[in-house]
Amino acid sequence: MEVIITGGGIAGLTLALATHASGAAKRIRIFEAAPDIRALGVGINLGPHAIKELSALGLEDALVAASCQPQDYAFFTRHGQLVYREPWGKAAGHQWPHISILRSELHRVLLDAVNERIGGANFITAHRCVGVEQSEVNVTAHFAGPDNAVRAPQSGDVLIACDGIHSVVRAQFYRDEGPFAYRGTNLWRGVTRRQPFLTGRSIARIGARHSTMIIYPIRNNIDAAGNQLVNWVAEIEREVAVPVDWSKPGQLEDFYPVYQDWSFDWLDAAEMIRSAEQILSYPMVDRDPLKRWTFGRVTLMGDAAHPMYPQGGNGGAQAIIDAATLGRLFETESDPAAALKAYEATRLPATSRIVLQNRSAPPNVIVDTVEQRTGGKRFEKLEDVITQDELRGIFERYQKVAGYHVTQIAQSQAQR
Ligand SMILES: Cc1cc2nc3c(=O)[nH]c(=O)nc-3n(C[C@H](O)[C@H](O)[C@H](O)COP(=O)(O)OP(=O)(O)OC[C@H]3O[C@@H](n4cnc5c(N)ncnc54)[C@H](O)[C@@H]3O)c2cc1C
Distance CA 274, CA 318 (A): 32
How close is the Cα of 307 to the center of ligand 1, in Å?
9
Distance CA 297, CA 104 (A): 31
**Which residues are CB-neighbours of 19 under 8 A, at least 6 positions away?**
3, 25, 28, 326, 327, 330
Mutate to test the pocket of ligand 1, among 10, 110, 189, 311 (most ligand atoms within 8 A of CB): 10
Closest ligand 1 atom to the C-alpha of 304?
26
How close is the Cα of 326 to the center of ligand 1, in Å?
18
How close is the Cα of 165 to the center of ligand 1, in Å?
7
246 to each of 42, 196, 251, how far by Cα in Å? 10, 27, 15
How close is the Cα of 152 to the center of ligand 1, in Å?
26
Q: Tell the residue nearest (CA) to atom 27 of ligand 1.
A: 164
For ligand 1, which residues put their CB under 6 angstroms from it? Answer: 6-12, 31-34, 44-46, 128-129, 162-164, 168, 187, 189, 282, 302-304, 310, 313-317, 319
Q: Where are the domains of the chain?
A: 2-52+104-179+289-361
Closest ligand 1 atom to the C-alpha of 303?
26
Closest ligand 1 atom to the C-alpha of 307?
19
Q: Tell the residue nearest (CA) to atom 20 of ligand 1.
A: 316
Closest ligand 1 atom to the C-alpha of 318?
11
Closest ligand 1 atom to the C-alpha of 34?
47
End-to-end CA distance of the chain: 25
Strands 202-208 and 211-219: antiparallel
Mutate to test the pocket of ligand 1, among 17, 129, 303 (most ligand atoms within 8 A of CB): 303
Give me the pLDDT at residue 241, please. 87
How close is the Cα of 335 to the center of ligand 1, in Å?
29
Q: Are 402 and 321 in contact (CB under 8 A)?
A: no
Q: What does each of the 416 residues of the chain score in pLDDT, given as a tens digit?
A: 999 999 999 999 999 999 999 999 999 999 999 998 776 658 999 999 999 999 999 999 999 999 999 999 999 999 999 999 999 999 999 999 999 999 999 999 999 999 999 999 999 999 999 999 999 999 999 999 999 999 999 999 999 999 999 999 999 999 999 888 887 889 999 999 999 999 999 999 999 878 999 999 999 999 999 999 999 999 998 888 888 887 888 999 999 999 999 999 999 999 999 999 889 999 989 999 999 999 999 999 999 999 998 877 789 999 999 999 999 999 999 999 999 999 999 999 999 999 998 887 667 788 999 999 999 999 999 999 999 999 999 888 877 777 777 777 765 544 44
Q: Are 316 and 362 in contact (CB under 8 A)?
A: no
Longest pairwise C-alpha distance within the chain:
70
Give me the pLDDT at residue 172, please. 98
Closest ligand 1 atom to the C-alpha of 233?
1
Strands 128-134 and 123-124: unpaired
CA proximity to 355, closest of 407, 412, 402: 402
Give me the pLDDT at residue 181, please. 86
Distance CA 45, CA 314 (A): 8
CA 106: distance to chain centroid? 11
Give me the pLDDT at residue 126, please. 97
How close is the Cα of 263 to the center of ligand 1, in Å?
33
pTM comes to 0.93
CA proximity to 326, closest of 308, 310, 347: 347
Pick the CATH number of 2-52+104-179+289-361 from 1.10.260.30, 3.90.1520.10, 3.50.50.60, 1.20.1250.20: 3.50.50.60
Q: Tell the residue nearest (CA) to atom 48 of ligand 1.
A: 9
Strands 298-300 and 158-161: parallel
- Residue 129, beta-bridge partner list: 143
- Over the range 320-334, which residues count as b (16 or more CB within 10 Å of their CB) and which as e? bbbbbbbbbbbeebe
In sign, the C-alpha dihedral spanning 119, 62, 327, 135 is negative
Give me the pLDDT at residue 406, please. 78
Give me the pLDDT at residue 416, please. 44
Distance CA 304, CA 110 (A): 19
- Could you tell me where the beta strands, DSSP code E, fall in 34-127? 43-46, 72-76, 82-87, 99-102, 123-124
Q: Are 365 and 402 in contact (CB under 8 A)?
A: no
Q: In one letter, which amino acid is 387?
A: T
Q: Are 287 and 152 in contact (CB under 8 A)?
A: no
